[in-house]
Amino acid sequence: MRATQLFAPTLREAPKDAELVSHRLLLRGGFIRPLASGVYSYLPLGLKVLGKISQILREEMERIGGNEFLLPALFPRELLEESGRDKVDVLFHVKEHDYFLGFTHEEVLTDIVRADVQSYKQLPLLAYQIQTKFRNEPRPRGGLIRGREFLMLDAYSFDRDAASAERAYAKVRGAFQRMFDRCGLASLSVQADSGAIGGSQSEEFMVLSDDGEDTVLRCDVTGYAANAERCEAIPAPAEDPNAPVPPMEQVATPGVTTIEDVSRFLSVPPTRLIKTLVVVAPDGEPTVVLVRGDRELNDAKLARHLGGPSPLADAATVARVTRAPVGFAGPVGLAQGTRVIADREVATVRDGVTGANATDAHLVHVLPGRDFPTPELTDLRTAVAGDVSPADPDGRLYEQHGIEVGHVFNFGTKYTQAMGATFNDEDGAIRPIFGGSYGVGVSRTMAAAVEQHHDADGIIWPVALAPFEAVVILTGIRDEAQPQAAESLYAGLRAAGVDALLDDRDERPGVKFKDWDLIGIPVQIVVGKSLAEGNVEVSLRRDKKQREAVPRGDAAAHVAALVRQLKAEV
Ligand code: ATP
Ligand code: MG
């Protein structure tokens, strides 16, 4: 490809609303253009990067026996009604709700499998596709990081039994790890919540980045890593487990409702407050939830414990359950039969403070188990850095940030049972098929690569993802010898198997250097003044100051070797 033919409009400045580095650099480098919020066009350079990522993903899926499909993006409503996912809030509706735009394809694949797989002999089956997904994200952000339309590799496994499903999960997990390694990305797999897809086993792949929106907690002893949404929270021990607790007492706290205000008003640290929330469980029953004052209730853990999303109750329900306005609820003296669940740590609070279930009043010197019945105890709070590690009692958790680029789920028979996908086993019995599903955000991976690999001047693509491996920069287009030397080097590079680009534009050298630093092609070769001594200048984008003069006749072989060396680094 020649720069005179390439459509790569670079920008000096990025739009002000582009906050993430990857968003700014992909816009400025001419990789993408916005059409609407969370909707982007891929320009030729962007498409080339997507193609390189996709090729790596295909090779790794083929390696573990994946069959490539291309499934429809348009789903008839009836299909999602079968799994109950027609109500999912990220769905885009088409034609008065007769159709949806595809957001993930479990149901479509399961529909094929239930019709065409009858026998154990047809299992296991591993299917995948690389295709556009549509999700009506409430807050698209960061360009390709969170789009409403994005490219995903999604894979689905179908197996005879749980053991075989686990083997499939492990295989895909391994393939994903190899994909990110081959892409030149430092990634980490972490324990994850299975969220809307449901199921038991689930891990996410994170590309580590300080600007990543996911928080990962890691154990400093074992290396155990979990998404903070999911990480088990180990209760802090009681401060002074044997100190006597005076009798409980009601005190006036007029208009004092928040944890901070109560803590200040009564001069009691938030760690001794018991926060009381009223939620509505999936069965419609109001349920009282307790966590220590300084802790955050984890919605995902609560949902897992109660069997589904359990939003906060409205003020009227709070008043009915606690007989007090919001801000004064507490676990003492609740109506008989009220379900109360508490984070395990609440049991370690001594001499606590809670709302008194009366307007403008709190209770002090509260001792759980003495002043109110010990509630159902479970893990309900969000773990934080500094907590004891769930993987090792001597370990402590520390925090890192990452971008979720992949997700693997083993969901058992959740979809196959709902949709009647069964098979005849060897013994003649009809059994449900076990399933797993797996996704890599292809377009998000492109952005994550930029987040991890850039400097003040632009992108520094890992060679495996770069739109071109090398660029020949011709600086003296009107010089007698330079154009011809650049052409022959360009031809030589292509003959040597290097994915090369020739910058034959009639532009000042400074403009060209700025563009290629921004676009981030790994190897730059300047054909310029030093040609008079028979040399071209070769440098790596990541180390621009290290320019090496190479005799023009050796340059193609030299660059081919350099590219091979870069590829071998991963
Ligand atoms: P998130 O938690 O970021 O919203 P998710 O957990 O809903 O994502 P999955 O259903 O696990 O997403 O999708 C598989 C992969 O697809 C994700 O790991 C991510 O890389 C990618 N992905 C998901 N949503 C988006 C999006 N809106 N834009 C770009 N990529 C996405
Ligand atoms: Mg996910």
What does the pLDDT read at residue 184? 96
Residues with CB under 6 A from ligand 1: 104, 135, 137, 146-147, 150, 152, 404-407, 439, 441, 443-444
Closest protein CA for atom 4 of ligand 1: 146
Helix (H) or strand (E) holding 106: helix 106-116
Residue 137 DSSP SS3: coil
- Of residues 213, 193, 189, 211, the one with CA closest to residue 202: 193
Separation of 369 CA from ligand 2 center, angstroms?
A: 39
Q: Is the pLDDT of residue 97 over 90?
A: no
479-493 pLDDT, tens per residue? Answer: 999 999 999 999 999
Q: Are 81 and 207 in contact (CB under 8 A)?
A: no
What mean pLDDT is predicted for residues 370-394? 95
CA distance 462 to 52: 11
Separation of 375 CA from ligand 2 center, angstroms?
A: 32
Closest protein CA for atom 2 of ligand 1: 404
What mean pLDDT is predicted for residues 397-424? 94
Q: Are 241 and 220 in contact (CB under 8 A)?
A: no
**Sequence spans of domains, the chain:** 21-231+398-451, 249-378, 468-569
Closest protein CA for atom 26 of ligand 1: 146
What mean pLDDT is predicted for residues 114-134? 97
The answer as to CATH 3.40.50.2300 being correct for domain 21-231+398-451 is no
Peptide bond preceding 373 in cis form (omega within 30 of 0): no
User: pTM to 2 decimals?
Assistant: 0.89
Q: Is the pLDDT of residue 373 over 70?
A: yes
CATH superfamily of 468-569: Anticodon-binding domain (3.40.50.800)
Q: If you search the block for the tokens 């090729």, which residue do you land on?
A: 55
- Cα-trace Rg, the chain: 29
31-64 pLDDT, tens per residue? Answer: 999 999 999 999 999 999 999 999 999 999 999 9
Residue type, 162: A
Neighbours of ion ligand 2 (CB under 5 A): 407
Q: Is the pLDDT of residue 200 over 80?
A: no
pLDDT-derived band at 229, boundaries 50, 70, 90 = confident
Ligand nearest to the CA of 402: 1
Closest protein CA for atom 11 of ligand 1: 407
Percent of the chain residues past pLDDT 90, beyond the cut:
90
Separation of 152 CA from ligand 2 center, angstroms?
A: 12
Separation of 405 CA from ligand 1 center, angstroms?
A: 7
What mean pLDDT is predicted for residues 482-508? 97
CA distance 148 to 284: 32
Ligand nearest to the CA of 197: 1
CA contacts within 13 A on the Cβ side of 237: 6
Q: Are 346 and 291 in contact (CB under 8 A)?
A: yes
CATH superfamily of 249-378: YbaK/aminoacyl-tRNA synthetase-associated domain (3.90.960.10)
User: Which atom of ligand 1 is nearest to 213's Cα?
Assistant: 3
Separation of 441 CA from ligand 1 center, angstroms?
A: 6
Q: Is the pLDDT of residue 198 over 60?
A: no
What does the pLDDT read at residue 555? 97
